[in-house]
Structure 1
């Protein structure tokens, strides 16, 4: 019986996985500069956490979650996103009690959604996200957006578009909600069944509908910006001021919304304008929320964050023909001739690796010429040739593969010889 990978998943093989490692390491280094600390949460949680944290009216909760019962009949769900788990941990571990706030966290890990697989979208995907919890300062909003933009730019993306909007505070959203209901209600029968349910439940989510996005009422729907009170306008102006001060270009898009009630003030998306990237251009989405911690049993805590798919990031890099500076070379390849030399190479290889060198040898009993070809495939900087005669003299022939220069050195000097060369290359 043969097995195939489940639909909507992928194997990431050597040669490709190095790109993932480079992107993830870049994200971690950037978070370190911004003082965001990594958090690792379970891959599955109680289903109710996502129903509350993601929203019972969302497509994710209603249609896309991988949910199962454990042996005691409890409903569990593979996490579809990272924010709910991060905030749950923030509340459960009482991180809000730390004297230094905001609490700045990031995560990288697999998420799961049962949706139609397409380019850059999988049922198991890797999400990188950050959450800043405990501050109402608009400077944190600008910081979060800046970090996301910096990641894409550091990796070499240029065809980027940042769009921002304000959802206002609770009073602003209530006024806008009333206006949306009045706008859509007379003709709601012309909309899909999902939108009809959303009218009273969450009218803002009508604006996110893909089926009815071309309906004429969508184009004339009241903008949230028309209902911002003075405090909300001032907050949004500050965010824009800080982005401009950081030299980050942006566009204000009144149609950019977040449907859940606890979202407020800043919302943003980063898109790719690269030719051939595809119809779905969004790379990253984020926004401010002030009621999520309270929704899952904690104190009311302001927060803001974003999440992005590593798969879509890599697809954007491909669309812009960005080559990541990934090195697959090794420091030294040991070529052996004779049984005693082969035996000595085993321990010599171990010593080299323990000293921090990337080293390899032949394990297939190849001829000398084939071993040199293998060294080329490994992009070895040096080839160390060891035969039984050299072993008897306690020397090893070391060839610099860039210059072609070869010299004999004492075997116990090989490691220091290679490290001295590496040190010179760094200067």
Structure 2
């Protein structure tokens, strides 16, 4: 069977890979050790200074769903008693932590420089000021993070509602305890399961150990700089939309495709504004699987419960930002079409993505044949009459618009609801940011 052609992605255009040939596997430069030590350190740091999304699963402990948190002193007394090597109180691990995609976790999953040589390892250990130990198969491993560069993406497992939120507080406390700079997580991405529908997060100081409550208040006030709430499009396919859509169905080519959650880390670039030419044509109708207003009000309620009042950056505050991050879960679509589907290790991300985009295009062509049923379609390739000028149209045809990433919207962008009772929005007045993944 012929292999699908490589996908044309905006990611490649942005990272200058459309024409560049990859370096040979295992390529070395034998003169590197002869460089001055200061220059070698600068090169190591250049490799380390990149934004990453770290995918973690946060699971409830084994002792049962009611053991912690709890209102009585007995359940609290088991936690927040021990100290680590820095003399900092730790939570006592009312949770377990697992990295995505790594059954046998090793340091190279987070940074290959930890295993290159002693000089590179020293540079990496100095850069990753957060070094959180966690058990893996009866051994202890370490989570290496840099607060300024890393976005920690947490998915709860075996817990929901107040219990999941309490585990989040424990985890964030421990990160600060093992941080050489006492900073903790600055950029946090939360799976939608932290926001149970329809009421959202419910957590108060009385649900936590007193030390945990004080620590969580400090983290909400002084540590967190951004929270990214990831939501999915409804439906996931870019070539589908609700039949009630006023403009009919059209291929929303700029809807970002989610990165693989099975990867432990994903290198990302955080763009303040999505630079793709055709973005504006797809923002007039977004159907989401969750109500952004509920998510934002839920977080505001959490801050209020802990006495936190965020001051907007425009008013001289610390600049905390809450983002709604829509993305399309194409990986689950691959699995639903091919049974269990192939893993990334078996086929490779780019091969999987190329196959998905090919199937997506064929599915769109089949849908267009349904016009006889009276459903209005818009072309996958826009007409020149629908854009400002012919130059813009031809640029849209030549430049790849498909991107692996997620949009970054302020909650206020979703004030214009097109369908009360459903999560359909016109956000054309907004200029979303883009979290673009290096795939």
TM-score computed with the length of structure 2 as normaliser: 0.25
Larger Cα-atom Rg: 1
Higher RCO (C-alpha 8 Å, min separation 6)? 2
Structure number with the higher helix fraction is 1
TM-score computed with the length of structure 1 as normaliser: 0.25
